[in-house]
A and B are shown apart, each in its own frame.
Chain A
Amino acid sequence: MQTIIVVGNGMVGYKFCEKFVAQADTKKYKLIVFGEEPRVAYDRVHLSEFFEDGDAERLSLAPRSWYQENTIELYTNERVSEINRATKTISTSKNRTFSYDHLVLATGSVPFVPPIRGVEKKGVFVYRTIEDLEETLAYANTVKGGKAAILGGGLLGLEAAKAVMDMGLEPHVVEFAPKLMPRQLDSRSSKVLQVKLESMGINIHLSKATNQILGNGKITGMEFGEDDTLDVDMLVISAGIRPRDELGKSAGLDMGTRGGIVVNNKMETSDPNIVAIGEVALYNQMIYGLVAPGYEMAQVAVDQILGKEETKMAAEIDMSTKLKLIGVDVASFGTPFMPSDKGHSIIFENKTESLYKRINVSHDGKKLLGGILVGEADDYNMLLQMYQNEMPLPENPEALIIGGRGEGGVSFGSAMDLPDTAVVCSCEAVTKGAICCSVLEDGNENLKSVAQATKAATGCGGCKPMVSDLITESLKTLGKTVKVQICEHFEYSRQELFDIVKLRGVQDYDELLDTVGTGHGCEVCKPAVAAIFASIYNETANKQNTIQDTNDRYLANIQRNGTYSVVPRVAGGEITPKQLMAMGRIAQKYDLYTKITGGQRIDMFGAKLHELPLIWEELIKEGFETGQAYGKSLRTVKSCVGSTWCRYGMDESVSFAVEIENRYKGIRSPHKFKGGVSGCIRECAEARGKDFGFIAVEGGWNVYVGGNGGANPKHAILLAEKVDKETAIKYVDRFIMFYIKTALPLQRTAPWLEKLEGGITYLQNVVINDSLGIVEELDAEMQALVDSYKCEWKEAVETPEIRERYTHFVNSEETDDNIEFVSLREQKMPKEWA
């Protein structure tokens, strides 16, 4: 039995273990892993996602139990402090000693902190581990609304900028070079990116050398030149990385002059029993700060240890990258900048749209050498493939970057044209051949199972679209149609299930599962099917309450401490003083926290489960009805004051908003949908930020569809111009009905419209010109929904069996004693999560 010790349980160290146990006879080898961090290896690449849900577990690459199952001894929170090459042993921070036959150094790197005066001050952070992030976040909470600087305008720095913005701080990126992302972008593309980022609220300061961090104990600013300072409350340093090579140094291994443990193409260090992989390894005199080369190194190291000596590291390593920054696509591949003696560049730039695309082509026009994409990088995967596989270019290579998708001119043909050896997933080095084979020969039919079988798309995820395309195309060659299956329990897409329910008149979930599904269902298909029943029969969530998402099940939004919020409908945002007083009285009686929402109504938070029917009983008595703030259904129709009061108003926007909100209230759909009505093009109601919007203009209403705010803001697109109110309503009726019938679960109108082949023109043909011959049907279906509306809270308070559901314990009158509130500005809020 041979012992292999892995130092470092980071991304590459983990990958080594994964590849090793997959290939080696585990009876012959014992694997021991040390990690200095308290957690098991996690996905650093998606560190920023930690903000979204604060859920560290979700990032882990494999649960602790995985190590046990594979008989790997894992010691986290334990640093290896010394290597003794003579005795082939290591010792750890807990003063333990272990012997090895092979030693794998995967200690990664640390952020480089430049020796600036004052960097030790409070409020200065780096960005590499979950703990870094937690500390940053905790500090950010104390300076909310303040300013944060990011030192370094590279890939990571920009990601950090987005992160601090999400923390509620004003981001300022400070870069030493005269441009952003100096390693990946040329000056023009960097300028385009800069303008785009500035428009998103990220401030950029270029050519700034920081002399000093100002502040007494904690940071208050940065000083660049004599009179050149920037006031900030926090600083995140992202100025490059330094390999964590101290073990190599103290053990006397060959080191690079600027750090890093030197390895050859077998990943061997100067000691043949020690390999180094990942960001600590200096290969070709370079440290590669990306996962893909690290994973490749892990593969080479595994094969070398197992005696497959022919596996070696490639001589040239691809550094192509795509930024994950939400809101802007940025990618560069191959040789992004190229001297003109090597070839020529084709550049497309559109400043108003923040678009920049550059490809570098060999002099003979036959080969793609590299390129840069800013603003839109949909074609990145395909271009990267053409470059990596030296595929022949079309006669007019500019077609690769102009013309764009959708408008007929897809210049690449399909992913199927790639050679089988093309590496599609570079993180896991999975080829096109392997992906297609997993579909054609092993019978995998969807992304999840192909990903499980091949590991493709499990790294940075950038190749997902291409892997999906390959699966779809491979299935087509088998004569199978491809559908987006809802989950493992139904081999149908949402649209197909919708038709099945409708045509067969299926009445409930169990019946549907028994006739066309398998197993007992899950939290994915249940609410999706519930929404279908609701859209077809307009039944309320009370009928089949256990298949509803929790908010629908209890007709209220669950809050962080398990209490609920109450939001009555305030159509169009119009409310009488009497109603306001009634709401105030009820909120006071039940001690609810109240807030005006972003949707022009009032939210009352902190109601306990058993209080919900009591509160609603009183609200209903005062003439309120449910606002469906919990539902995937119509939320609000926002209005501006319009011509009734406003001196610019072209028409009565409030009246229209009230009418349309009452028309669509209670209609359930694949995702929530919202509307807006503005009285003139000043657009105070932000109608173009909604799923549907009306704007009064000279001579009628302009109708917009497919907008939203949220994580990926999209402006709605003009569907019809200057139409009268009745026509406007008719078009939107049909648009909504068509969306309800054909969208994927949890797909809002904007992404739906984006995926709709033919886009807005097609939609106009369907809802205006009746190209599919279905408008009569759509009209009738919409009218049926409108006519069958009922307030589900009224139904709930009036029906004893439903009321009974609102109790925390079914065997006791007591309430949940786990709920604790603390006070906040004369109101209350839930106690912080531990």
Chain B
Amino acid sequence: MTTLGLSTYKTVTEEDVKFWFKAASVSKFPSNGGACIKYKNKQIAIFNFTREGTWYACQNLCPHKMEMVLSRGMIGEENMEAKVACPLHKNNFSLKTGKHLNGDLEAIATYPVKVKDGFVYVGFSE
């Protein structure tokens, strides 16, 4: 079950959602920061972008060196596009599109998030 590759993660859009996974309570996610959750064999980074009033989710796996670290990255924005900077080598990824912003790595998969009754839900298609 170790070293699950990039192929484990595919972007899910709001329309594709078949199942909203109840991840954890809102209090588990620091304001303007992230934390990681587990869903089946996936590690998903969830960010509470308080300043924007938005939540984002993406794969926890950084496509640069395949480490499970993105949830520990710093979030921020470039031209008002929300992004996360990988803690290992500061590669930046858009939290909206998953696109690698300061280079040519593969885009990361993103997932829809909703908050209901104090809980954070992530949308999956399987």
Contact, CB under 8 Å: B103 / A526: no
Contact, CB under 8 Å: B29 / A810: yes
Whether B74 sits at the interface, judged by CB under 8 Å, is yes
Whether A420 sits at the interface, judged by CB under 8 Å, is no
Contact, CB under 8 Å: B36 / A546: no
Which of B24, B33, B76 has the most CB atoms of chain A within a 10 A radius of its CB? B76
In A551-570, the 8 Å CB interface with B consists of: 553-554, 558, 560-562
In A44-63, the 8 Å CB interface with B consists of: 53, 55, 57-58, 60, 63
B10-18, B85-93, B108-116: which lies at the interface: B85-93
B69 in complex: contacting residue of A527, A545, A558, A814, CB < 8 Å: A558
In A790-834, the 8 Å CB interface with B consists of: 805, 808-812, 814, 816-820, 833-834
Contact, CB under 8 Å: B32 / A817: no
A550: which B residues are within 8 A, CB to CB? 72-74, 87-88
CA A549 to CA B86, docked complex, whole Å = 10
Contact, CB under 8 Å: B80 / A519: yes
Contact, CB under 8 Å: A810 / B24: yes
Q: Fill in one digit per residue for A456-480: 1 if any B CB lies within 8 Å of its CB, else 0.
A: 0000000000000000000000000
Whether B49 sits at the interface, judged by CB under 8 Å, is yes
Contact, CB under 8 Å: B104 / A64: yes
CA A575 to CA B85, docked complex, whole Å = 38
Contact, CB under 8 Å: A40 / B104: yes
CA A817 to CA B66, docked complex, whole Å = 13
Given contacts A55-B64, A521-B76, contact A818 B43 (CB under 8 A): yes
Q: Fill in one digit per residue for A500-526: 1 if any B CB lies within 8 Å of its CB, else 0.
A: 000000000010010000011111011
Which residue of chain A has its CB nearest to the CB of B80?
A: A519
B38 in complex: contacting residue of A547, A549, A562, A811, CB < 8 Å: A811
A-B contact count (CB 8 A): 122
Whether A488 sits at the interface, judged by CB under 8 Å, is yes
Contact, CB under 8 Å: A820 / B37: no
Q: Fill in one digit per residue for A51-81: 1 if any B CB lies within 8 Å of its CB, else 0.
A: 0010101101001110000000000000000
In B48-85, the 8 Å CB interface with A consists of: 49, 51-52, 61, 64-69, 72-78, 80, 82-83, 85
CA A748 to CA B43, docked complex, whole Å = 38
Which residue of chain A has its CB nearest to the CB of B72?
A: A550
Shortest distance from the beta carbon of B44 to any chain A beta carbon, whole Å: 9
Contact, CB under 8 Å: B104 / A558: no
B28: which A residues are within 8 A, CB to CB? 810-811
Contact, CB under 8 Å: B66 / A811: no
CA A554 to CA B3, docked complex, whole Å = 24
A549: which B residues are within 8 A, CB to CB? 74, 87
CA A523 to CA B87, docked complex, whole Å = 10
B125: which A residues are within 8 A, CB to CB? none
B87: which A residues are within 8 A, CB to CB? 549-550, 558
In B1-48, the 8 Å CB interface with A consists of: 1-4, 23-24, 28-33, 35-38, 43
Given contacts A560-B88, A811-B37, contact A554 B72 (CB under 8 A): yes
B75: which A residues are within 8 A, CB to CB? 546
B61: which A residues are within 8 A, CB to CB? 818
Which residue of chain B has its CB nearest to the CB of A527?
A: B74
Contact, CB under 8 Å: A546 / B33: yes
Shortest distance from the beta carbon of B12 to any chain A beta carbon, whole Å: 18
CA A251 to CA B107, docked complex, whole Å = 42
A57: which B residues are within 8 A, CB to CB? 64, 100, 103-105
A834: which B residues are within 8 A, CB to CB? 66
Contact, CB under 8 Å: A562 / B51: no
B2 in complex: contacting residue of A547, A560, A811, A818, CB < 8 Å: A818
Given contacts A520-B77, A550-B87, A812-B37, contact A818 B103 (CB under 8 A): no
Contact, CB under 8 Å: B2 / A817: yes
Contact, CB under 8 Å: A520 / B76: yes
Given contacts A63-B103, A546-B31, contact A809 B68 (CB under 8 A): no
Given contacts A63-B104, A561-B67, A811-B24, contact A522 B36 (CB under 8 A): no
Which residue of chain B has its CB nearest to the CB of A524?
A: B76
CA A820 to CA B1, docked complex, whole Å = 12
Shortest distance from the beta carbon of A531 to any chain B beta carbon, whole Å: 14
- Given A510-B51, A553-B72, output 8 extra A-B contacts at Cβ < 8 Å: A60-B103, A513-B51, A520-B52, A521-B51, A546-B74, A546-B75, A550-B88, A809-B43
12 CB-based A-B contacts, threshold 8 Å:
A522-B76, A545-B33, A546-B31, A549-B87, A808-B36, A810-B36, A812-B38, A818-B4, A818-B66, A820-B2, A820-B3, A833-B66
Where the two chains meet, the residues of B that have a C-beta atom closer than 8 Å to any C-beta of A are: 1-4, 23-24, 28-33, 35-38, 43, 49, 51-52, 61, 64-69, 72-78, 80, 82-83, 85, 87-90, 92, 100, 103-105
10 smallest CB-CB distances across A and B, nearest first, come from A546-B33, A550-B87, A522-B76, A63-B104, A523-B85, A57-B103, A810-B28, A520-B77, A811-B24, A523-B74
